[in-house]
Amino acid sequence: MVKYKQQVLDMLEANKELFESFSLIHAKYVDEPQVFQEEFNQIGQKAVRIIQRWENMLCSKTESGKYGKFSQSLSENFWKEIRMRFPKIDYVGVVNSD
């Protein structure tokens, strides 16, 4: 398995309870964003902090040295994998005034 995919699986397993909660609120947010915006942002902010921490752990090993040029691609692939599971992850923190 590719390293970034394994990192995502490890992250989800290590933080199972949080990501199960986020998955539930994410599904509700997809259906009714205005109703679930606040709860989505609260749980989502915790999830994003953990995702960023795991992304840093993944990419920190490649940023220095001769593999530095691959770090950005690795990060993009990591986030692509996250977005496949949580398509609205980029909406965490966004406030709809509608």
Residue positions counted in the chain: 98
Write out the chain's pLDDT in tens, 98 residues.
888 999 999 999 999 999 999 999 999 999 999 999 999 999 999 999 999 999 999 888 765 666 666 778 889 999 999 999 999 999 999 877 65
Q: Is residue 31 part of a domain?
A: yes
Q: Is residue 93 part of a domain?
A: no
Which residue type occupies 80?
A: K
Residue-level pLDDT at 81: 97
Q: Is residue 95 part of a domain?
A: no
CB 87 within 8 A of CB 40: no
Q: Is residue 98 part of a domain?
A: no
Print the domain residue range for 21.
3-86
Q: Is residue 92 part of a domain?
A: no
Q: Is residue 61 part of a domain?
A: yes
Residue-level pLDDT at 63: 59
Domain count, the chain: 1
pTM of the complete model:
0.89
